[in-house]
């Protein structure tokens, strides 16, 4: 069977990791790369001589035979470039956030349906042997009926992005769409059996008076059907990169933790423990967790979706929910009150 042909748009901080992950999957072929700067194009050509390198993504879409295009660009470009990829008839892998507005996410979803193409959204934590194992245990009833979860990130620094684009609020949307979006997605995924989120109440504050929009301390309480709730909390004023998830239910509890010098480390420390009755049990994992590893599994999953015609593990509706949760949290922080999730749009 022929390899699934990938194009990559964006070769900044995270684009090279996408290129590495695509190349690590035997059933995938990295055919073309788009990079903005001459130095990035030279680096891409040197690292992947088999791939043609472009300065303009329109030229790549017009000139290459591709099955999937991975978009790794600043957030304000996701909607336009994602739309162009789908219009060209290719499947779309788009980094989070899917877009900066819910209606833009909906437009991409409808376009993908019309073109009979898949949208996969880059919530790679779903492919983790650690965070994914938590989901498996919850779904298997290991903690009974889930009631509570805390997902926390302790990290530094506030990342600026290429040419400081994350300091331009119109380009980033808001910081909730940058980092907490991963944890909102995990919270919704973990509590899927409780239905969709009902409301969110958030509070955030920043350290820098000259950039008050940089809310590097953030917490949000999200309520699900029946009163189950999730607390998503982070600070970007700590050090290194430390993430934890603590989940309790009617019959047990789980505690997962991951630490590294940064999110892209290849040598993390990690552990998953389960409360089974009165015993604390270490849960064995099938591999090493970390975004650099999980990105490979994400590419492998997309190859399977294209070949087998099955939906991606994290599709357009999931991506839209992630954006909606973040925007509602931002609205809640500004208004100082809970925000209800409602309307048919979010229940699609």
Residue 179 has pLDDT above 90, yes or no: no
Compute the average pLDDT of residues 118-133: 97
Mean pLDDT of the chain: 93
Higher per-residue pLDDT: 187 or 277: 187
Task: Give Cα 73 to chain centroid, integer Å.
Answer: 14
Compute the average pLDDT of residues 307-317: 94
Give ranges for CATH 3.40.50.720 in the chain: 4-124+295-314
Compute the average pLDDT of residues 3-7: 97
Query: Residue 201 contacts by C-beta under 8 Å, 6 or more apart in sequence?
Result: 220, 221, 332, 337, 338, 339
Most confident of 162-176, 196-210, 308-322: 308-322
The confidence score (pLDDT) of residue 344 equals: 44
The Cα–Cα gap between 53 and 37 comes to: 11
The confidence score (pLDDT) of residue 158 equals: 76
- Decide if domain 126-289+323-347 falls under CATH 3.30.360.10: yes
Structure tokens belonging to residue 91 = 């499947």
- The fraction of the chain above a pLDDT of 90, given in percent, is 82
Residue 89: closest CA among 69, 59, 109: 69
Structure tokens belonging to residue 347 = 């229940």
Residue 342 has pLDDT above 80, yes or no: no
Residue 348 has pLDDT above 50, yes or no: no
Reported pTM:
0.94
pLDDT tens digit string along 220-265? 999 998 899 999 999 998 999 999 999 999 999 999 999 999 888 9
The confidence score (pLDDT) of residue 212 equals: 77
The Cα–Cα gap between 160 and 180 comes to: 16
pLDDT tens digit string along 24-74? 999 999 999 999 999 999 999 999 999 999 999 999 999 999 999 999 999
Label residue 343 by pLDDT band (50, 70, 90). Answer: low
Residue 226: closest CA among 146, 143, 316: 146
The confidence score (pLDDT) of residue 211 equals: 78
The confidence score (pLDDT) of residue 216 equals: 86
DSSP lists the bridge partners of residue 5 as 29
pLDDT tens digit string along 71-123? 999 999 999 999 999 999 999 999 999 999 999 999 999 999 999 999 999 99
Residue 126's alpha-carbon distances to 4, 123, 228, 296, in angstroms, are 22, 6, 21, 12
Residue 223: closest CA among 215, 234, 214, 231: 231
Helices marked H in 31-129 — which ranges? 38-47, 57-63, 78-87, 102-115
Beta carbons of 121 and 302 less than 8 angstroms apart: no
Residue 299's alpha-carbon distances to 52, 122, 124, 320, in angstroms, are 20, 10, 9, 20
DSSP 79-106: HHHHHHHHHTT-EEEEESSS-SSHHHHH
Label residue 345 by pLDDT band (50, 70, 90). Answer: very low
The confidence score (pLDDT) of residue 166 equals: 78
Q: Produce one character per residue of 267-297: b if its CB has 16 or more CB atoms within 10 Å, e if not.
A: ebebebebbeeeeeeebebeeebbbbbbbbb
Give the 3-state secondary structure of residue 336: coil
Q: How would you list the strands of the sheet with 68-71, edge to edge?
A: 52-54, 28-34, 4-9, 68-71, 91-95, 119-122
Strand locations in the chain, DSSP E? Answer: 4-9, 28-34, 52-54, 68-71, 91-95, 119-122, 146-155, 199-205, 217-223, 229-235, 241-249, 252-260, 269-276, 279-282, 339-340
DSSP lists the bridge partners of residue 247 as 149, 254
Which class does domain 4-124+295-314 fall in? alpha beta
Give ranges for CATH 3.30.360.10 in the chain: 126-289+323-347
């Amino acid at each position: 069977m022929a390899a699934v042909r990938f194009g990559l748009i964006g070769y900044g901080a995270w684009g090279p990791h996408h290129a590495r992950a695509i190349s690590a999957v035997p059933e995938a072929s990295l055919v073309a790369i788009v990079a903005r700067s001459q130095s990035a194009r030279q680096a891409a050509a040197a690292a992947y001589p088999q791939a043609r390198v472009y300065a303009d993504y329109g030229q790549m879409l017009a000139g290459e035979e591709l099955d999937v295009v991975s978009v790794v660009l600043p957030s304000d470009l996701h909607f336009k470039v994602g739309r162009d990829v789908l219009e060209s008839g290719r499947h779309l892998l788009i980094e989070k956030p899917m877009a900066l507005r819910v209606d833009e996410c909906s437009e991409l979803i409808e376009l993908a349906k019309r073109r009979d193409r898949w949208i996969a959204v880059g919530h790679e934590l779903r492919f983790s042997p650690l965070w994914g194992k938590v989901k498996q245990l919850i779904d298997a009833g290991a903690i009974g009926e889930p009631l509570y979860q805390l997902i926390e990130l302790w990290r530094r620094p506030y990342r600026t992005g290429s040419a400081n684009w994350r300091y331009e609020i119109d380009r980033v949307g808001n910081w909730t769409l940058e980092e907490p979006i991963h944890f909102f997605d995990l919270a919704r995924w973990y509590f899927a059996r409780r239905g969709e989120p009902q409301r969110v109440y958030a509070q955030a504050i920043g350290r820098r008076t000259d950039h008050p929009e940089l809310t590097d301390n953030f917490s949000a309480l999200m309520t699900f059907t029946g009163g189950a709730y999730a607390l998503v909390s982070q600070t970007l004023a700590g050090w290194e990169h430390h993430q934890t998830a603590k989940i309790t239910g009617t019959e047990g509890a789980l505690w997962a933790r991951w630490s590294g010098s940064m999110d892209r480390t290849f040598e993390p420390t990690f552990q998953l423990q389960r409360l089974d009755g009165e015993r604390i049990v270490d849960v064995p994992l099938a591999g090493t967790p970390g975004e650099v590893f999980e990105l490979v599994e994400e590419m492998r999953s997309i190859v399977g979706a294209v070949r087998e015609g099955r939906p991606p593990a994290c599709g357009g509706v999931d991506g839209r929910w992630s954006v909606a949760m973040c925007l509602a949290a931002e609205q809640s922080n500004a208004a100082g009150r809970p925000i209800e999730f409602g309307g048919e749009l979010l229940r699609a």
